Structure 1
């Protein structure tokens, strides 16, 4: 059994005690190729982001960096620009042949809410070594908006795999030839390249930019906030925009992406030499993404873009990132979008689910 582990295997891992939780895992946490992770009851405000490092525990490092503790049980605000560490309700006791990778959920990334998973002995963010046994923690840094959180909220997710799951370029070309992965020519080099759409049909609106001074967002409130209170519209008449250093943008891919049921994918940032910006804050694409979208043409990828260092001209059709495809160990019994209340199937340019749809 080689590849990303599907929902039915995750259920078996929960039963066998390889995935542990208190309180018990809610079936709604189980996605086609990942498990949602829940915040615990305490947040630690820390002086700086950190990794535990080889042979050290997160708890020991918290003793070094903790500033104060926040009780989340009645809800609490995590403030923009601050760094927090929250013990998660889930922990692991993995076999030696299973590793894991974590990532922010789509709605988390679209709020510019930097959320990464750290572990005891961990030397990388979001990467859990094979055979890891121990607790999980979320490092949370709100970048654009302060947020109200409560125990049990699901900001990040974890994917498990055995063996070498990533498809090489030749295999990816063969998959695309059999089942198109994008609705146009496929640019395949270290994964499937995707570009930015700055010429949306019938509109000059091409994206949104986060406003610098806004109110708090309660992450439990869905469709509750007016986008205009938190976002500026970004328009383009000529298929280009200038990214401002430090600003956060929501844009959309030109390609409609398709993830066949027997594969999963992860969004990776494009090479830094292309430009001083990052397109990678929420990165998992589940099996079935774009598979049963309207017209069967796939779903656009929403891009969470932050510019660094210097203003940068971004032009229509410019390659900005890539999708790394992985094979599933077996097809999930439940696919993205079909009966599991997936929020972003068939999407175009779209803010997180917390905002009202534009009129």
Structure 2
């Protein structure tokens, strides 16, 4: 069977290993087992970062290296660690590269902890006309564009800020297929709102206490991404409390909230967080989140909350308990992964509720 042939869907860990063995995915230094997730591959930062005066895409028929001189301000060596400053844009060549066959495309997204730090991280490539999307037949290097929006961060080579999924053919479930799946394996407790995916809402009436979320503090210190549980949350976040099920979002502020629903991702499926409606309100829920097969299933019971990374736009906006703010788009796997999220691998956010990134105590 040719590399681009097989069952349609998102490729599981076993097929990702096969692509590494056959040179479709290559890296210097070699890929390590910890990079391979149930339905994705973690991508590693290289040794150099370029400070840019503006974000850019290579454009059709052009290479990143050909365009870099137009936007580069200075070059940084990451070997001993370097600080990426809040509000600045950087481009980092990644250790991995791809040689995709016909029939196989790829899509990238930020990892969970990256999004929870408001660390905008997007994949860019040669010949690219959009972020985070690689067409069939792409043969070339990979780059991460990084823009810290709330906190300055210390990074080193080998850190994994984003991940790559490989997809063969049509994988997204229609609403009818999603309803059938929900009938067989309930995806949420209670009634499921299915409309171009599984809708989810915000929880502003917790069952215990009145803590509903966190807002990033504007002038905090540097976060070393390798330090787990090292930083007091109060140095970087303000707690948000509500007794009336409402929260007023401030323009330009970044929030960590949580979904009202506990969601589950069965073993033969994966899911991606997406906007519910373009005009749902004067805010944006981070929609690059990817949910691995097995999320919300296992020893912690059926379902785990989805953490919402919210940024308000130009005008203050009142968010109310139960307001629908996003949706999960479910995709079928090409095969069941050998390992599932939370069951067979170390998973920081299985069984989660309202939870900050893993760097905070």
Note whether the superposition's TM-score is higher than 0.5: yes
Q: How many residues align?
A: 355
Does 1:338 find its partner at 2:343? yes
**Match in the other structure for 1:321:** 326
Give the secondary-structure state (helix, strand or coil) at the position aligned to 1:12: helix
Match of 2:66, SS state, is helix
Report the TM-score when normalising by structure 2: 0.97
Contact 1:87 1:136 in 2 (8 A): yes
Partners of 2:252 and 2:358 in 1: CA distance: 24
Asked if the contact 2:119/2:146 (under 8 Å) is kept, the reply is yes
Tell me the CA shift for residue 315 of structure 1: 0.3
- The C-alpha deviation readout for 1:212-231, integer Å capped at 9, x for no partner, is 00000000000000000000
Match of 1:270 among 269, 272, 276: 276
Q: Give, in whole Å, the separation in 2 of the partners of 1:214 and 1:338.
A: 35
Mapped to 2, the partners of 1:293 and 1:326 lie a distance apart of 24
Equivalent residue for 2:127? 121
Q: 1:307 aligns to what?
A: 312
Distance apart, 1:155 and its partner CA:
0.2
1:99 partnered with 2:97: no
Query: Who is 1:84 aligned against?
Result: 90
Q: CA deviation at 1:297?
A: 2.4
- 1:230 maps onto 2:236 in alignment: yes
Q: Deviations over 1:302-357 (max 9, x none)?
A: 0000000100000000000000000000000000001311100000000000000x
Q: Would the aligned equivalents of 2:38 and 2:293 in 1 still touch at CA under 8 Å? A: yes
Tell me, which stretches of 5 or more residues in structure 1 are unaligned? none
1:189 aligns with 2:198: no
Secondary structure at the aligned position of 1:13 is classed as helix
Given the alignment, which residue of 173, 180, 202 partners 2:179?
173
TM-score, normalised with respect to structure 1: 0.98
The alpha carbon displacement at 1:293 in A equals 4.6
Q: Give me the whole-angstrom Cα distance separating, in 2, the residues matched to 1:280 and 1:130.
A: 27
Shift of 1:281: 5.0
Displaced runs of 4 or more, over 2 A = none
What secondary structure, in the 3-state scheme, does the structure 1 residue paired with 2:234 have? helix
Structure 2 alignment gaps of length 5 or more: 1-6
Measure, in 2, the Cα distance between the counterparts of 1:342 and 1:56. Answer: 39
